[in-house]
Structure 1
Amino acid sequence: MSQQPAPRQGPIRRIAGDWHVIPGWLPVPDLGVLPVNAFLLAGPEPMLVDTGLAALSDAFVAALAARIDPADLRYIWLSHTDADHIGNLDRILDLAPNARVVTNFLGAGKMQLLGKGDPARLHLLQPGEVFEVGGHRLHQVRPPYYDAPETMGFFDPVDRAYFAADAFGALLPAEAASVDEIAAETLRDGLVGWSSVDAPWLAHMDQPTLGRMLSGLERLAPEHLLSGHLPDARGLAPLTSVIRHAYARGTTDAVPPETIRQIETLLTRS
């Protein structure tokens, strides 16, 4: 039996303002690679957004430490409790004794069920509450699609950055530093493929409802999209256009069921 390619951790890289990406790459058999990103808000109150794949634990910590001492972290924002987003949570909490985990009531409950984190170190956000950190006011904005009900996205008006958690992810034929490096057709196929895996219920939405959701995000006019599963992207319009038109036709068969099971296994592997 041939050995499966190993996931790879990339170096931390500044996106805009205080925002940095900590990019990871997960090989997916027959489909290329899936980005698995975490993000760092540097500044006077450093905050980590998600904690990467457990399989890349040492490399992930080293990438983070190249920009800041992990002990200086003050917050860890968890988008949701899937394994590829909380893979290194407990290790980071050990390295950052003053950090608190930002989540919501459901996220806290799921963390307890999973035996992750420390209940004494939680900072629970109420629905719609604005979170202030290091001179940034992060407004909770629900991503247009997701695979866990506790998912929390946000918009940062200071750096015009929108964190979309799993939304706008893409399965790609090869690693890329930014969306600008990806051909339009390849990007479309990747976006539809990933959303067919992560949010197959999109195909059951009527076009006007989906359009209103996407238009609401477009009105925010973010200059930078922070997605857990997409390289650096400038603006939303090219991405929302793909989702709006693909799912107006009910596209759900971009990825076969067996491949979906393979992806789920890869994402939950420690």
Structure 2
Amino acid sequence: MNFKLLNHYFKFSNQQKTGIVLLFIVVIALQLFYFFADFSQPYYSSVEEDQWMLLQKEIDLQKEEKLKTKYTVYKFNPNFISDYRGYKLGMSTQEIDRLLAFRKENKYVNSAEEFQKVTQVSDSLLKVLSPLFKFPDWKQNKTEFKEERKVFDKKPHYNKEKIVLQDINEASQEDLMKLYGIGEALSLRIIKQKEILGGFVSMEQLQDVWGLSPEVIAELNNRFKVVMPSGFKKIAINDASLKELSQFPYFKYTLAKQIVIYRSMNGNFNNIEDLSKIKGFPVEKAKIISLYLEF
């Protein structure tokens, strides 16, 4: 093979060599530009999307705090469980009501088995709670307690005239002022409280009216009752907006916001027990609040 003929094709002038070098430089520069350049379109988020991202960030922080939170439960006497402690321990309102009704009869539970019999809690919950129970030694003086109760339980019976109870939501200022201990100022406070709430749903709400003594409240219970107002509209807790929840008298804005966050994290609320798990929820008002809500 004659290589001299091939050498003829690889001979370049100085201008050709310069052109080839420049061509290589241009090719390499284009490759580097293609590799490092960002051809993606810029993304601009909306104001609403930014707000949701901030809310999601807050939700993530809430989840982290929830995982870090540790609760210490000390031993206690189950005969004196309050509504708040009952909720914290996982008892339902019905189970707490059974215990409170039992205690109103001046009776006591003396064992975990008797506690389950009265409250009807599940075996799984009893297994968790029973190690925390601390019972005093009542059995030694049980006969003495019974004898004392017999003495104090004997009360004279009086024939009371049957009174027709009036609807507290229909009562006028004049009707309220007929009761001893209620003047113009107190009657106006009761009516104003009724208007704020959109109507009373329980006579217990009268305890929130400032200035009413226990004796006057007892007299109100003897003369009035609650009849749910016609067209009473409940709040759909799983659909209500932040604005609607914050306008509810028993919820402040902070609690309403916590409800919306909890709802987005855990799904819909099924009952008042789910709602009471939220930090800052007024557990002592749970029964009354539940009458205003729709699950």
Instruction: Judge same fold: TM > 0.5, yes or no.
Output: no
In our comparison, the structure showing a higher alpha carbon Rg is: 2
Identify the structure with bigger relative contact order (alpha carbons < 8 Å, sequence gap 6+): 1
More strand by share: 1
- Report TM bin, short chain: under 0.3
Q: Please, what TM-score do these two structures have when normalized by structure 2?
A: 0.23
